[in-house]
Amino acid sequence: MITLPPHLHVIDDRFRALTHPMSQLERIAEGFIWTEGPVWFGDRDALLFSDIPSQRIMMWSETTGVTLYRAESGFNNGNTRDTQGRLIGCRHGARDVVRTEHDGRVTVLADSWQGKRLNSPNDVVVSSDGAVWFTDPTYGIISDFEGYRSAPEQAARNVFRLSPEGALSVVADDFTQPNGLCFSPDESLLYIAESGSSHDASVPAVIRRFAVDGDRLKDRGVFTIIDTGLPDGMRCDSAGNLWSSAGDGVHCFAPDGTLLGKILVPETVSNLCFGGRDGRRLFITATTSVYRIFVDAKGAEPWTGGSRT
């Protein structure tokens, strides 16, 4: 049997089919404070990602390297694209979710619930019907590092859905700190990370699974437990495997929750996304750097490897 490099840790032999013995973990960008929110723009052949404390959104491409996409980003954290290919972002500073229009204007989509300010929107996904789903923990208001220290106005740390018509609703309200989220390829399931163990060791480091019932969620319990660190950002590949950030790297889970293997990363992983021209490059944001690695799986998001439109 061919031996894989040390950064690829096989737990279940099915992981071998998702990797390659010559696949290298490359550091493609470095020198940041805390990287987050990677999103691939295939129509630009570029990756966007946040450097939260420096209030910048950066862009990386194979041809130009790292350039500044947006200064004064308002402590932007998670990013995704909507059904028209526009950038959707979560800003800790203004405590809102925003959309960047094709002409560069920024539109606020949501900043309050029942007359009170959101906590600090963290991560975001868009379903094929155009609805925006996002998590609202308190990480951006518990210090001045990733936002502005402030008391939370929301009684719960909610997960929200913003309809295409602009109606905001709570779809989950029993998390300690909801964090990363992603849909299964057919959007029948929504996975949501519970990262409350960051400040409370009694909170289990788990990924929960919900059945999507129109504009509502039905709790289907714990999908898996993270054995090192805590879960943050995550993505599904087209076969339904879930790739999640963790304390020692990226963990890959089969659709039934079995841990297949790990990509070991020398920094704490915050988030990840699929991209590249073939959709088979996994881009990983981790503390001060961004990494890239080939995986023999393609991301489930429609813009992976190309434009969404």
- Residue 307 belongs to some domain of the structure: no
Residue 4 is predicted with a pLDDT of 84
What phi and psi values does residue 143 have, to the nearest 5 degrees? -160, 180
DSSP code per residue over 150-203: ----SSSEEEEEE-TTS-EEEEEEEESSEEEEEE-TTSSEEEEEE-GGGT-TTS
- Residue 119 belongs to some domain of the structure: yes
- Residue 106 belongs to some domain of the structure: yes
113: CATH: 2.120.10.30
* Strand-pair partners of 195: none
How many beta carbons lie within 10 A of that of residue 48, not counting itself? 23
Which residue, 129, 84, 74, is CA-closest to 106?
Answer: 74
User: In terms of residue numbers, what domain contains 67?
Assistant: 8-294
Residue 307 is predicted with a pLDDT of 47
- Residue 300 belongs to some domain of the structure: no
- Residue 21 belongs to some domain of the structure: yes
The pTM (predicted TM-score) of the whole model is: 0.96
Residue 308 is predicted with a pLDDT of 43
- Residue 301 belongs to some domain of the structure: no
The per-residue pLDDT for range 28-39, each reduced to its tens digit, is: 999 999 999 999
- Residue 302 belongs to some domain of the structure: no
Residue 306 is predicted with a pLDDT of 53
Residue 70 is predicted with a pLDDT of 98
- Residue 299 belongs to some domain of the structure: no
Which ranges of the chain have pLDDT less than 70? 1, 303-309
Domain count, the chain: 1
Using the 8-state DSSP alphabet, how is residue 18 labeled? G
